[in-house]
A and B are shown apart, each in its own frame.
Chain A
Amino acid sequence: MSSVAARDERVTDILRRRAGQPGRSPVEAAIDRVWRFFCSVRAAIYEIVFLSLLVLIGTLKGSIIPAQIPRFVPALEPLVVRWYAFDVFRSGIFSFTLALLTVAIVVCTVNRLPGIWAAIAHPTVATTRRFFQTAEPAARFGVDAPLQAAVDALVRALQARRYRVVREDRDGEVHVYADKNRFGILGTFPFHLGLILVLVGGIVGAQLGFRETMFSIPEGSVRDVGYGTGLRVELTGFIDTYDELGAVTEYRSDVILYEGDREVRRQSIEVNKPLTYNNITFYQTSYGQAAAMRITDAAGRVVFEDPIEFTYLSRSNKDAPAAKLDLPAQGIALELVYPNLLLDAKPEIGDIKLQPGQLYAQARDWRTNERIGEGAVLGQGDTATLAGYGVQFVRETRFTLLQVASNPGIPILFAASAMGVLGLAVTFGFPHRRVRAIVSERDAATEMLIAPMARRDWAGKRDFIATVAALEPRFGAAEPYGRMLDERT
């Protein structure tokens, strides 16, 4: 095995040898040390363990466990509070460890390349008799033919079993090396490249894309997407359907997409059917109540007419949805409160308990946020005069909540996934099988020793047995050899 192992040359070994040479510069020594750190499987394991610990800390936050800790050990409460405050997955230490691991994967993989390539392209053909004595299983054929004829027959027989055969004549003996599926080992490279690309795709997506999780549009309204996209979305209708048992079967937003003033798309967005335009994707997330409002000035001119969505919660009653409408040109802001969704008796504002279908409106100074006059309770269709403006609650309606995301990392992620799966399929589907043989002349006959390189590799041994069985019709019955002989005694 020693001669074989010597061929498994790695970048590490090359560096180590070079580092051992006199006159190496400190830079070389440093590179060597860094390289070896990243190659170290032990370092990689520590990195993975540390990363797992971080992930555990981050993931457990979503469970009931942290909240239970102070109940049993009250002294740990400050720690739990800090735990909740620590956003693991956005922290520097998490990114750093992930980067470290990525570099380790790259370095480890690159490090293996020369050795693997050498095994594929320039396998060591020469071997020793000791190899056959220690190999298990190993077979011996006594062939009734001249040396070269026996070798030719062996080569043809192995080639018939899809082996690549390399031979080397030395000292009157012929050494034969045969292998198949040698390119299967290369599958590890696309797989690891895929892993790295997943990380790259994630980083590209996070850096170059954007994600707006709270893009709301009331029915009948048009809203700008922002983020420099120049897109506007109109919600023509929001529909939620249920089955007879009250379970949701569908959330659907019917939207029209405008680029500037031009209509570019008219589509329904559902939970699993997002709308994609120019790499920008709109996903259905949620929905809620909205109020169509109409505000007129003293002269009766309409200064505002659009639905307003209740996306906040009221400060005075945490269960009551609220909304705020800024009218900077008029110098006022309008605060709206919607009835408490729990339908309990708790008043929403002061002593006022709103009835379903009503809302409460309060005018404030846009700059100072000071109240202007008293607020008013409005039913559908009612108008009140607030800060000199006619405020009408036209009707109840709803808004849809979409998520808007642009992720340029997607093609990278898909390529990475395809690469990873392909790599795995090649690695596991085409295991490298290697066989060695020495053909020599002994006692006026030709002796053929043959054994697999399959130490502790059951499948490799099984494959070898099949190969030997295929050789038997040509060379006669095989005899056991090496350790198999020891075992029988």
Chain B
Amino acid sequence: MTEAAPVDASPRLGPSALEAPAPPRRAAAAAGLLLAVLIIVGAWFVGGQQGFERMGFSGVNSSLLPKVGDPAPDFVTMLSDGSIVRLSDFRGQPVWLNFWGSWCPPCRSEMPDMEAAYKKLQPQGLVMLAVAVDEPASVSFDYAARNGATYLVASDPERKMTGSVYPIVNFPTHILIDREGIVRQIVLAELNTDEFIAYAETILQPSEAAT
């Protein structure tokens, strides 16, 4: 019984170059390591060629709007009475900054709620500044006047004033700025009266620095 038995599960083919032994351990490990290094260097090179360093800043990592906790960027705009204001003019007062347009249905449908909330919160010093964009100033001002908005309505038809610092994509956008000019909250949704009042709480309280 010297013949190959069927129980032999090990590789066996007789004397053949196919049975070439595995490379010596050290040489093998070195070759593998070299391969790994080559691949990593290659990936680094491809990354440089393809400009990977610019990756990762859009999508979930994007930051178009000012960050909560940062100072709100300043801008100049024209109010419906023709006067020119700066956002920083309101420093010391809580500012509810709203971006809208009469072309935007949710903005229109939240307008009465916004007005109702404003009536309620104005005695507490809240400033509401609604900046209309992407349409002629007259259209925005007419609409606001017809629908009885008593808060401040401004217009930036071609976004020349606000576009670079507030690149709004979503309408309506609400940016809540506290007395120190710090952005406290950003709401990207249509709101009702109760929600306006609830959100406003975050900027109406006297700031911690003052107490």
Task: Give 10 nearest A-B pairs by CB, closest first.
Answer: A246-B169, A242-B170, A241-B189, A396-B109, A480-B6, A137-B6, A356-B102, A468-B7, A242-B188, A244-B64
Interface residues of B in 93-107 (CB under 8 A from A): 102-103, 105-106
With a 10 A CB-CB cut-off, give which of B102, B105, B169, B190 has the most chain A CB atoms.
B105
Chain B residues near A488: list those with CB within 8 A.
3
Interface residues of B in 101-124 (CB under 8 A from A): 102-103, 105-106, 108-109, 112
A379 to B7, CA, bound (A): 93
B185 within 8 A of A: no
* B7 A478 Cβ-Cβ under 8 A: yes
With a 10 A CB-CB cut-off, give which of A380, A466, A478, A488 has the most chain B CB atoms.
A380
* B6 A465 Cβ-Cβ under 8 A: yes
Binds A, one of B32-40, B73-81, B143-151: B143-151
Chain A residues near B13: list those with CB within 8 A.
none
Chain A residues near B106: list those with CB within 8 A.
240, 398
Bits for A246-264, please: 1 = Cβ < 8 Å to B, else 0.
Answer: 1001000000000000000
Chain A residues near B109: list those with CB within 8 A.
289, 395-398
Dominant secondary structure at the A interface? mixed
Chain B residues near A48: list those with CB within 8 A.
none
Interface residues, chain B, with chain A CB atoms under 8 Å away? 1, 3-7, 9, 62-65, 102-103, 105-106, 108-109, 112, 143, 146-148, 169-170, 187-190, 192
Count chain A residues whose beta carbon lies closer than 8 angstroms to a beta carbon of B.
38
* A241 B7 Cβ-Cβ under 8 A: no
A445 to B103, CA, bound (A): 101
Contact of A357 among B4, B6, B102, B189 (CB under 8 A): B102
A477 within 8 A of B: yes
Q: Contacts A242-B188, A356-B103, A381-B147 given; 6 further ones with Cβ under 8 A?
A: A237-B192, A343-B103, A357-B102, A395-B109, A465-B9, A479-B3
* A243 B188 Cβ-Cβ under 8 A: yes
* B148 A381 Cβ-Cβ under 8 A: yes
Dominant secondary structure at the B interface? loop
* A478 B6 Cβ-Cβ under 8 A: yes
A139 within 8 A of B: yes
Interface residues of A in 432-452 (CB under 8 A from B): none
* B7 A469 Cβ-Cβ under 8 A: yes
* A357 B108 Cβ-Cβ under 8 A: yes
Contact of A396 among B4, B105, B192 (CB under 8 A): B105
* B6 A139 Cβ-Cβ under 8 A: yes
Chain B residues near A356: list those with CB within 8 A.
102-103, 105, 108, 143
Chain A residues near B6: list those with CB within 8 A.
137-139, 465, 468, 478, 480-481, 484
* B1 A477 Cβ-Cβ under 8 A: yes
Contact of B143 among A239, A357, A478, A479 (CB under 8 A): A357
A466 closest partner in B (C-beta): B9
A289 to B187, CA, bound (A): 21
A477 to B4, CA, bound (A): 10
B63 closest partner in A (C-beta): A244
Chain A residues near B169: list those with CB within 8 A.
242, 244-246
A472 within 8 A of B: yes
Bits for A382-394, please: 1 = Cβ < 8 Å to B, else 0.
Answer: 0000000000000
Chain B residues near A289: list those with CB within 8 A.
105, 109
**B109 CB to nearest A CB, Å:** 4
A472 to B3, CA, bound (A): 15
* A472 B146 Cβ-Cβ under 8 A: no
A291 closest partner in B (C-beta): B109
A341 closest partner in B (C-beta): B105
Bits for A129-148, please: 1 = Cβ < 8 Å to B, else 0.
Answer: 00000000111000000000
Interface residues of A in 402-461 (CB under 8 A from B): none
* A480 B189 Cβ-Cβ under 8 A: no
**B208 CB to nearest A CB, Å:** 27
A429 to B187, CA, bound (A): 53
Chain B residues near A357: list those with CB within 8 A.
102, 108, 143, 146-147
A471 closest partner in B (C-beta): B7
A139 to B62, CA, bound (A): 69
A355 to B135, CA, bound (A): 13
Chain B residues near A462: list those with CB within 8 A.
9
* A243 B170 Cβ-Cβ under 8 A: yes
**B66 CB to nearest A CB, Å:** 11
* B188 A239 Cβ-Cβ under 8 A: no
Contact of A244 among B5, B147, B170 (CB under 8 A): B170
Interface residues of A in 93-138 (CB under 8 A from B): 137-138
B167 closest partner in A (C-beta): A244
Given A356-B108, A380-B147, A477-B7, A244:B102 Cβ within 8 A: no
Chain A residues near B143: list those with CB within 8 A.
355-357
* B7 A396 Cβ-Cβ under 8 A: no
Chain A residues near B192: list those with CB within 8 A.
237
**B49 CB to nearest A CB, Å:** 28
Contact of A139 among B7, B64, B146, B190 (CB under 8 A): B7
Chain A residues near B148: list those with CB within 8 A.
381
**B56 CB to nearest A CB, Å:** 15
With a 10 A CB-CB cut-off, give which of B63, B65, B102, B170 has the most chain A CB atoms.
B170
Can you list 30 A-B pairs with a CB-CB distance of less than 8 A?
A138-B6, A139-B5, A139-B6, A239-B190, A240-B106, A241-B188, A241-B189, A244-B62, A244-B170, A244-B188, A245-B62, A245-B64, A245-B169, A249-B188, A289-B109, A355-B143, A356-B105, A356-B108, A357-B143, A379-B147, A380-B147, A381-B147, A381-B148, A395-B109, A395-B112, A398-B105, A462-B9, A466-B9, A472-B7, A477-B7
Chain B residues near A397: list those with CB within 8 A.
109
**B206 CB to nearest A CB, Å:** 29
B189 closest partner in A (C-beta): A241
Chain B residues near A239: list those with CB within 8 A.
189-190
